[in-house]
Amino acid sequence: MALIRTNPAFRLLISASAASNLADGIAALALPWLATLVTRDPALIALVAFATRLPWLLFSVPVGVLVDRRDRRRLMAQADAIRMLLSLGVVALIGAAPTLPLAEETPRYVLGLAALAFLLGAAEVVRDNAAQTLLPALVDRDGLETANGQLWSVEQVMGAFVGPPLAGLLIAVAVPAPFLLDAVAFGLAACLVWMIALPPRAAPARRSVLTEMAEGWRWMRGERMLFRVAVMLGLLNFLATAMLTVLVLYSQDILGLGAGGYGVLLTAGAAGAVVAGIWGPRLVARTGSRKAVVLALALMALPPLVIALTASPVLVALALFLETVAGMVWNIVTVSWRQRLIPDALLGRVNAIYRFFGWGMMPLGALFGGWVVALAEPGLGREMALRLPYLIACAGFAAMFLYGRRRLSF
């Protein structure tokens, strides 16, 4: 915690991230739960998750150019301010519905919710790309693992430990309540980011967007290991998003949980991230980066197998805990390595191309999870169809472990 005490700029950044990720955590439960109040069709519910993640596929690369050209602090503040307004837009959409849950499925409400989710996701692309490129300007290179571990621990506490159960309680009070709190949290985050003092940064020479994008792409293709890790991250996120998309229906139909219980389930995952955020840098220092990443990959295959074979909320919670421990260790190693490797002048563009591969697969994973359930249900029944994405994810994660053990080096 010495870094938080001694570095005022990092303290403001981590505080802003806490507020912003509280809003993200509330939305992570409230948006899909709102979708289930409008429809029970897994394909339509997947459409909302797809819309949330689609901007990572569409906008990551051009946003990278923007991040290298513009004031990164200003971009973060503007993105959070826009998300504040969009959260109020969700409240307005809820107010336009006659009653919730809807007695009869109304596609226009699903499409309206998907449109707002898409815009929220687009603002998130700007905010998160700017945030990751901003950190090396605030923290010494040797302190990046510690800073990232602390930052992700706080983000996970707020985004997955506090946000989801709080959203469950707020939904029980009134469906619009979580989105009103989201608006307040995003507004606070924008104000905190605006207060960060940054050292002056020389403005790069302006060229065409395509030229700057191509420059970032050529640099990344020259770093074969970076490209390999980006593609691996895309496949891992594809499988993880498929699991998460189905989880809201799995928790209702198999585990028998309400909104509050579902929030507690997500909180178990957050606890794993908090533990790994604190303990992960020590593991990396003790074992080395490569061994830590291979261990993380080995652990990833177990949680989906447990979820596929059980109907116990306790076992599912433990599986989610382990899943986020593994994911956090992966992030601590790969993000810190990336921040040191990429030159500052290219950091926004290369980081954005990396996340195009790594996060761009998430909307496809969301559609995949919903479609697997929708296509399998007529032949297998509802319960087995909901379990099927987890069996597929288990096989995929096992394949990633075998590949990573042979091909990764840091």
Q: Please compute the mean of the pLDDT values over residues 186-206 and round it to a whole number.
A: 80
Task: Give residue 164's pLDDT.
Answer: 79
- Flag whether pLDDT at 101 surpasses 70: no
Token pair of 391 as six digits: 């069996």
Cis amide leading into 101 (omega within 30): yes
Q: Which residue has the higher pLDDT, 204 or 332?
A: 332
Which of 80-84, 158-162, 351-355 comes out lowest in average pLDDT? 158-162
List the Cα angle 221/225/228 in 5-degree steps: 80
Q: Which helix (H) or strand (E) is 137 found in, with range?
A: helix 107-138
Residue 201 lies in a domain: no
Domain that holds residue 394: 2-194+208-407
Say what the pLDDT of residue 122 is: 94
367: CB partners within 8 A, 6+ apart:
46, 47, 50
* Token pair of 60 as six digits: 């990551």
Compute the distance between CA of residue 119 and CA of residue 257 in angstroms, rounded to an integer.
29
Q: Given this model, what pLDDT does residue 205 score?
A: 63
Of the chain, the percentage scoring pLDDT greater than 90 comes to: 40
Give CA–CA dist 401/104, Å, rounded: 45
In a domain, 289, yes or no: yes
pLDDT digits (tens, 9 = 90+) for 102-149: 656 567 788 888 999 999 999 999 998 888 788 878 887 777 777 877
> Rounded mean pLDDT of 311-337?
91
Mean pLDDT of the chain: 87
**Rounded to 5, what percent of the chain is helix, strand, coil?**
85, 0, 15
Q: Is the pLDDT of residue 153 over 80?
A: no
CATH number of the domain within which 93 lies:
1.20.1250.20
pLDDT at 254 over 70: yes
**Chain segment 22-79, per-residue pLDDT in tens:** 999 899 888 888 888 887 788 888 888 888 888 988 888 888 888 888 888 899 999 9
Give yes or no for residue 269 having a pLDDT over 90.
no
Domain-embedded: residue 203: no
**Number of independent structural domains in the chain:** 1
Q: What is the model's pLDDT at position 98?
A: 66
Q: What is the pTM of this model?
A: 0.75
Mean pLDDT of 352-368: 87
pLDDT digits (tens, 9 = 90+) for 222-237: 888 999 999 999 999 9
User: Per-residue confidence at 2, pLDDT binned at 50, 70, 90?
Assistant: low
Collapsing DSSP to helix, strand or coil, 255 comes out as coil
Work out the angle between the directed axes of helices 42-69 and 107-138 (0-180°, nearest 10).
30
Q: Is there a domain that residue 248 lies in?
A: yes
Q: Cβ distance 373 to 42 under 8 Å?
A: yes
- 200 located within any domain: no
The residue with greater pLDDT, 355 or 277, is 355
Domain membership of residue 292 (yes or no) is yes
Residue 99 lies in a domain: yes
Is 278 part of any domain?
yes
